[in-house]
Structure 1
């Protein structure tokens, strides 16, 4: 089962699913695939009447974000980002990777009437970025992956916030607060479970085994309730997974991640990649390419790279008196190139931003695909070079010893 937990296995399945989705969406099978994706499954009586595509993007994808939140919490508390000096860098890098693409997009679209698409190039597709890193980044220090993970998650959270604030109407504060309370309750139950597990090593406490199962069932029920409340509140439902992952006690969280990770790698991520990539590449014909196309296609690969590298250098300069830089300059370029893979979240925000203009939305789809593809090619080249550098460095150190 260990190979199912491998990042390389996950990346291979994810990339294969994405290629298959694009191929089917641009083949004679496209109509049948879109028909299945748009068919509805649910319980209208309780407000759950989602399409298959939305069950994937809003439902099971929350499991992946739950795992990511657990890993990120570990990095912030026990791992490579366990100090303020280390943790603040990816936050500043994420901010730079958001502001610079916005500025580039607005520079292309100012006065065109399409300025509202500025959130599109701000997203980093965490699944694809980590997938590329896993496939070609063998030998890189763990700090690079931890930095990229933190950067990408903060980036995705910013994207979800943009969706909630700028593309969502009728968000219900009461339900948002209720979701937060349920996440706190989930955290309390996990803490209580951890206490029981600790006490169970004592012979006198073995009678509490039954209570452990009650707590497990309670956590599952509260977790599902949290997702439902967050979904009904108008906020993107995957944020429930993030909240639950951060709220969960450390020890049961590690166990939950170990058990769920194979399911996420083999089913959740490939399904999500396939559904998100089920995009028909638009036939533009004689239609001129408008400002949003150029803004997106430049802002994703170029804006992300400049923003992330520039902000990381700035953070190192500000914090240099306290701590040495976390990443070398070459590693910053690798992280910046990977950050330009916007794909899924960018496609979602493109559809929301240009929902009333199908022609511009089609151009946006093409720009996101091309911009992300450019970032993938650049990141594969840079990450390979950095991985080769570190492998050679370790070999020379071993020979010197």
Structure 2
């Protein structure tokens, strides 16, 4: 379990799962696995979802719960617990959203691909921190703090996009019922630790499942249930729950989602026949992120004068790490092009290729900065 709580190993598992999904989709076993992914599971006529929907709507809600718990902690006791401390990574995160959108629309404006503009806005926390852990030995803690805050804020943007842009025909009554369930969940979680926790834990689990079902049936993307529950749960029980769930999220939830999302058949076309959805994501992730985060991060430090001062080269490395999209970008791709399988597949390929490009670039930049700090440390001793 300790391996799955580390920063390095889960990133390797996630990358392996995505590569395996892409390989199997383009092998003779591809059609069979694709058929299995569409197999319905549930109570026929009552509540039934396909395997891939259980993964994207169900298991991924657990991931968003864990992220929301971390966000709650950072907003109250961590690196984002004041407006001043949050401003610098917030400005950098804004650049890491605006510039990739602009680059994507440069390729896709006026085409059917344009609705995929949210795809290159996300940063994968697990991957980015994994690369930082593998290649960043010797980097000052401020770089990790900046990256963590940046990635969390990016996730907030992704969550807002999911909630606002990809919700249709909302059943207000069911959504209100879900909000009530979340509030009751918050109240019950605050009674934990007062003796006889077993019944309360069972009630919390039932409330969480009820919330998820209500959100799903309301028409809002079901992962939002995980966000709401993670933000309102009493902090100490929430942190304990996060610790308990972390290895399962890193070892099961995220690899399964990466595998399922990467089940994409590479189109047998020339590069000139690939859609703007592919090219927009491919360029926007590595190029847009590094330009947006570095430029806006520099502005935040030099003009706004906020937060911890980082050398531009460190912000550049953080910008490259920000281009590793994977989890949330793959989910946004599924949502943006759910009715256009060809565009969805090409956007997914763009996410995979763009994220790998960012990963390689980030590994080089982070290794360079880590080497610089190690050399400086040796010179001063």
Query: Scaled by the length of structure 2, what TM-score is found?
Result: 0.89
Distance, in Å, in 1 between the alignment partners of 2:366 and 2:296 is: 20
Residue-by-residue CA offset, 1:236-284 (whole Å, 9 max, x unaligned) = 2222222222212222122222222222222222222222222222221
Give, in whole Å, the separation in 1 of the partners of 2:95 and 2:268: 34
Write out aligned runs for 1:190-229 (5 A).
190-194=189-193, 196=194, 209-210=195-196, 212-229=197-214
Listed as ranges, the gaps of 5+ residues in structure 1 are: 197-208
Cα separation, 2, equivalents of 1:282 and 1:86: 46
1:248-287 equivalent positions in 2, closer than 5 A? 248-285=233-270
Aligned to 1:345: 328
The aligned counterpart of 1:40 is: 40
Q: Which whole-Å CA distance do the structure 1 matches of 2:242 and 2:337 have between them? A: 37
Aligned to 1:247: 232
Aligned to 1:201: none
In 2, the alpha carbon distance for the partners of 1:146 and 1:73 equals 15
Q: Give how far 1:170 is off.
A: 0.9
State how 1:1-400 maps to structure 2 within 5 Å. Answer: 1-46=1-46, 48-112=47-111, 114-194=113-193, 196=194, 209-210=195-196, 212-285=197-270, 288-320=273-305, 323-325=306-308, 327-355=310-338, 357-395=340-378, 399=381
For the residue of structure 2 that corresponds to 1:192, the secondary structure is coil
Is the radius of gyration larger for structure 1 or structure 2?
A: 1
- Relative distance call for 1:64 and 1:139 in structure 2 (3 A) is farther
> What TM-score, normalized to structure 1?
0.85
What is the rounded CA distance, in whole Å, between the counterparts of 1:260 and 1:360 in structure 2?
34
Change (3 A) 1:328 1:182: farther
Tell me by how many angstroms 1:293 deviates: 3.5
CA RMSD of aligned residues (A): 2.6
Gaps of 5+ in 2: none
Of 345-354 and 273-282, the range deviating more from structure 2: 345-354
Asked whether the equivalents of residues 79 and 149 of structure 2 are also in contact (C-alpha less than 8 Å), the reply is no
- Secondary structure at 1:42's aligned position in 2? strand
2: CA distance, partners of 1:327 / 1:40: 51
C-alpha spacing 1:147/1:222, structure 2 compared with 1 (3 Å): farther
